[in-house]
Amino acid sequence: MGRRRSAVLTVLIALVAIYSLVPLAWLVVNATKTQEGLLSSFGLWFDDGRFALFDNVRQTLTYDDGVFVRWLGNTLLYVVAGAGGATLLATLGGYGLAKFDFPGKRAVFAVVIGAVAVPGTALAVPTFLMFSRMGLTNTPWSVIIPSLVSPFGLYLMWTFSQQAVPDEMLEAARIDGAGEFHTFFRVSAPLLGPGIVTVLLFTVVATWNNYFLPLIMLKDPQWYPLTIGLNSWNDQAQTVGGQAVFNLVITGSLLTILPLLAAFLLLQRYWQSGLAAGSVKE
């Protein structure tokens, strides 16, 4: 709208940006250090003369028979199945709530928000015991199934569907005699694109960063996601004969967040418009 730009405002916001970026800078800087350099050099600057980033990356990927790569694969599995499934369920559910009137509808969201208010960490043991009886613990299912529920995604798709899909279009499709699922996939789904991308991104972040639930459900490192694996490397220093590998923990942390950052940057055009529509509606 062609307003004057303000240097003062820019500086103020730049302070917030620095606050946001300094810890990330620390991670990048320290990923270039050897285990020894990590402990003996200044934290926010590079270690003189030793630039071990590539060596660290190589070590991270090959350490302990390349288990990091396996963890990465697991994380991808959980993200594809968990976040993908969560997005699908939230999209269907949100659309159903927005575009249909059905018995029990008023109760649905009340129940969802009410349940979210109960601390998940405290429900961990009951959940574990149940899953264990079903034979699901220590399998990918124990991580994927709980990831399939995204209350925020449901809310977002609900409000987004109300706005993005005109009732008139649906009526027209119904008059033509199309089934509801047919209508959904042919008529509505294309309109829901930005909302779906947004929910997908949020559920991807949630699954990618999931820590607590896999910690309880999984015992076999072969099924660990990256977060648990990294933490187990961090713990390793305190076992008999255990090697301190803080440099690999730091490099691994960096490698863990890079794919997410890339996904954010690449898809930002879509998710920003999806969020805009979802959050403004009341």
Largest Cα separation within the chain, whole Å, is 74
Residue 74 Cα distances to 69, 70, 245, 260, angstroms: 9, 6, 22, 15
Candidates 50, 66, 80, 123: give the one binding another protein (CB under 8 A): 123
39 contributes a contact to another protein by CB under 8 A:
yes
Candidates 57, 61, 77, 112: give the one binding another protein (CB under 8 A): 112
Q: Which is nearer to another protein, 41 or 61 (CB)?
A: 41
C-beta of 54: minimal distance to another protein in Å? 21
CA distance 193 to 74: 27
The phi, psi pair for 150, rounded to 5°, reads: -130, 95
Measured at the CA of 42, the angle between CA 37 and CA 47, to 5 degrees, comes to 45
Q: Which is nearer to another protein, 61 or 259 (CB)?
A: 259
Q: Are 203 and 83 in contact (CB under 8 A)?
A: yes
Candidates 61, 76, 108, 187: give the one binding another protein (CB under 8 A): 108
C-beta of 85: minimal distance to another protein in Å? 8
Using CB under 8 A as the binding rule, the residues of this chain from 53 to 92 that contact another protein are 89-90, 92
Q: Which of 203, 209, 206, 201 is nearest to 256 (CA)?
A: 209
Q: Are 107 and 177 in contact (CB under 8 A)?
A: no
Q: Which is nearer to another protein, 6 or 62 (CB)?
A: 6
Using CB under 8 A as the binding rule, the residues of this chain from 208 to 247 that contact another protein are 208-209, 211-212, 216, 219-221, 227, 230-232, 234-244, 246
Using CB under 8 A as the binding rule, the residues of this chain from 169 to 198 that contact another protein are 180-181, 184
Q: Which is nearer to another protein, 98 or 196 (CB)?
A: 98
Q: Can you say whether residue 166 is alpha, beta or left, with left for phi > 0 and alpha for psi between -120 and 50 degrees?
A: beta
Candidates 53, 257, 267, 270: give the one binding another protein (CB under 8 A): 257
